[in-house]
Structure 1
Amino acid sequence: MKKTFLLLLTVCATGLTYVSCSGNDENSSNQADVSSVGASVAIDATNEMDIKTGLIVAVKSSATTKSAETTPGICATITVTQENAASYPKVFTVDYGTTGCTDNLLTRKGKLKITLSGPVITTGSKMTIERIDYSINGIKLAGTIEYTNTTTVATVPQWSRKVTAGKFTDLTGRVYLNSGTWTVKQTAGVDTPYVLDDNVYEMTEGNHTITDANGGTLTLTVQESLIRKYSCEFISKGKLKVQGGILNGVVDYGNNDCDSKFTYTNESGITYNLVM
């Protein structure tokens, strides 16, 4: 049995057989569970967008950059603080302004503070991204992302992506707290370290937790490695196990196509086709 509804960061769960949008107390927690699945996918997407911004800044700041890539520009004003041109740490302030600016249909406001302890391709180096009065397309985001190079085999670059004190406020004002850690491996583009467009990343393990305003909690754990191409804004393949509330099941991102579609299959066997 399949049902379809549109997920635009806010969810009205009329498509579920046992959940409605009537607003009564019995159904409010169920509806929050559904919203948390959608919020989780959106949170992961915005985290990746900000990491991509950090990588662009890091690559552009490299004194050895010989990039032939065609990455989009960053419309923000970028300033850097460091002792000299070759020293670390480097602290970048990416300022989109209070009225915001738009790149690739994404309007961002506020600031990202990006701190590099060393080159992102060097084992042990850390890129820290802090959000300051920051939003994407009206969605307010807070918290810190730490992207640490944990490579042990040079041909397989690897990072740990840790989110702390995450806070996601959707377009209706609903708040979702979030935290978690992923292991990220680069599986393509290794031979061109200062070209980003050909990079492909695989999230092999990890989990994150989403907590809604009512205290309802969902934990999403990698079941099958998640595949993300740098050139795509969305996860294109892989599965997440969802546990918590009434929505125990699996999120499936599909067959490696670059699109915003995914499915959620509940433990009862019912599958929902979703679009972010």
Structure 2
Amino acid sequence: MKKILVPILAIVLMGCQEKENVNNDTAQQQTIAALLEYTVVNKIFQDVGNNGGDAVLSSESSASGKSSVKSEVDGPTITVEPFDLTSFPKTITVDYGTGVLCQDGITRKGIVTIVSTGWYRSVGSKHTATFDNYYHENFKVEGTHVVENLGLNQDNNLEYGVTIADGKVTAPTGVAVYYSENTTRTWIAGSDTPLNIWDDEYLLNGNQSGVSAAGVEYSLTVEEALHFILLPRGIESGILDVDIADLNDVKINFTNNTITIFGQIYPFSS
């Protein structure tokens, strides 16, 4: 995502010689920087949700004797306590050790601990993830990530409520971005292959908020559902309305890869 910054700032900086324009440009730069940080943080926490669901599904399959628990050879070490099909709550520990290069090309390290009140497909089940020295690439992840199974919607797709509290992502430089979320995630593809996370697709609706590394506060509301795919990882479509600092007319459009700021439209590469 870093490659977005240069072409956008090149456009933003053109002609900003007068003081008023310079001040306006500073606001634009802060807005763009905050939005770029958001795209990274959002993807990291969506990744946590998908990998957490995958770990719970793998644990159920292992406890039923349908497969063995993953090992460090091809993924993280997953342990389940108690290791049976019926006793809950369960503590599922996903240990990436000092680093595992996963199928999507992302290296993860550290431990994610998930406390589950039921299996992932069970309506009403909750899955609470916390982090112990966990890294997504070189970004340290902290906070509490809760997923609740809300059951089938009218299209017969499973829906999950997602809450992220005290979310924090620290970059290798030491700067931190804070993040929270209250959304609904709809599983629209890949549910028939529960042990293969990489063919999953889902829609995200709801609200998100955060504070950038520079202290800029923002909130985001999904105008058109964000369509996430896992491999290749990305957002296929969707529109976010953004309130950031004193601005309330900012949009991120993943359908045509544009950002609208101060009524001007800038392209970006996803």
The interval holding the TM-score normalised by the smaller chain is: 0.7 to 0.9
Tell me by how many angstroms 1:45 deviates. Answer: 0.9
Aligned to 2:260: 265
Residues 245 and 123 from structure 1, CA distance in 2 versus in 1: closer, same or farther, beyond 3 angstroms?
same
| Partner deviation per Cα, 1:33-85 (whole Å, 9 max, x = no partner) | 32210111111111122122112211212245869xxxxx8522222222644
Is there any run of 5+ residues in structure 2 with no aligned partner, and where?
A: 17-21, 68-72
Q: What secondary structure, in the 3-state scheme, does the structure 2 residue paired with 1:120 have? A: coil
CA distance in 2, matches of 1:145, 1:264: 28
Q: What secondary structure, in the 3-state scheme, does the structure 1 residue paired with 2:258 have? A: strand
How many residue pairs were aligned?
Answer: 255
Matches within 5 A, 1:1-276: 6-7=3-4, 13-17=9-13, 30-63=28-61, 75-82=75-82, 84-97=84-97, 99-104=98-103, 105-151=105-151, 153=153, 155-190=156-191, 196-203=197-204, 205-245=205-245, 248-254=249-255, 262-275=257-270
| Partner deviation per Cα, 1:100-120 (whole Å, 9 max, x = no partner) | 222132122211111211011
Letter in 2 for 1:157: L
Q: What secondary structure, in the 3-state scheme, does the structure 2 residue paired with 1:32 have? A: helix
Q: What secondary structure, in the 3-state scheme, does the structure 2 residue paired with 1:225 have? A: strand
Tell me by how many angstroms 1:162 deviates. Answer: 0.9
What is the RMSD of the two structures over their aligned residues, measured on CA atoms? Answer: 3.3
Residues 193 and 134 from structure 1, CA distance in 2 versus in 1: closer, same or farther, beyond 3 angstroms?
closer
* Contact in 1 for aligned 2:34/2:213 (Cα 8 Å): no
Tell me by how many angstroms 1:218 deviates. Answer: 1.2
Is there any run of 5+ residues in structure 1 with no aligned partner, and where?
A: 68-72, 256-261
Residues 182 and 147 from structure 1, CA distance in 2 versus in 1: closer, same or farther, beyond 3 angstroms?
same
Relative CO higher for 1 or 2, CA cutoff 8 Å, sep ≥ 6? 1
CA distance in 1, matches of 2:8, 2:130: 31
Q: Which moved more, 1:141-150 or 1:104-113?
A: 104-113
Tell me by how many angstroms 1:188 deviates. Answer: 3.4
* Contact in 2 for aligned 1:109/1:134 (Cα 8 Å): yes
CA distance in 1, matches of 2:74, 2:28: 40
CA distance in 1, matches of 2:161, 2:7: 31
CA distance in 1, matches of 2:15, 2:213: 18
Q: What secondary structure, in the 3-state scheme, does the structure 2 residue paired with 1:215 have? A: coil
CA distance in 2, matches of 1:39, 1:224: 21
* Contact in 2 for aligned 1:30/1:246 (Cα 8 Å): no
| TM-score normalized with structure 2 length | 0.80
| Partner deviation per Cα, 1:152-181 (whole Å, 9 max, x = no partner) | 547231111111100111233221111011
